Amino acid sequence: DAKTTQPPSMDCAEGRAANLPCNHSTISGNEYVYWYRQIHSQGPQYIIHGLKNNETNEMASLIITEDRKSSTLILPHATLRDTAVYYCIVLMTTDSWGKLQFGAGTQVVVTP
Amino acid sequence: NAGVTQTPKFQVLKTGQSMTLQCAQDMNHEYMSWYRQDPGMGLRLIHYSVGAGITDQGEVPNGYNVSRSTTEDFPLRLLSAAPSQTSVYFCASSYSSGEAYNEQFFGPGTRLTVL
* pLDDT tens, residue by residue, B9-38: 999 999 999 999 999 999 999 999 999 999
Regions of chain B where pLDDT drops below 50: none
pLDDT of residue A98: 84
pLDDT of residue B2: 86
Cβ contact, residue pair B109, A102, below 8 Å: no
- The DSSP secondary-structure symbol of B68 reads -
The confidence band for A111, taking pLDDT boundaries of 50, 70 and 90, is very high
pLDDT of residue B35: 97
Q: Which residues of chain A make contact with B105, given a CB cutoff of 8 A?
A: 46
pLDDT of residue A1: 59
Say yes or no: B77 contacts chain A, CB-CB below 8 A: no
Q: What is the mean pLDDT of chain A?
A: 93
pLDDT of residue A56: 97
- The DSSP secondary-structure symbol of B73 reads B
Query: Which residues make Cβ contacts (< 8 Å) with residue B108, sequence separation at least 6?
Result: A42, A43, B5, B6, B9
Say yes or no: B110 contacts chain A, CB-CB below 8 A: no
- Distance of alpha carbon B57 from alpha carbon B49, whole angstroms: 9
Cβ contact, residue pair B109, A98, below 8 Å: no
pLDDT of residue B89: 98
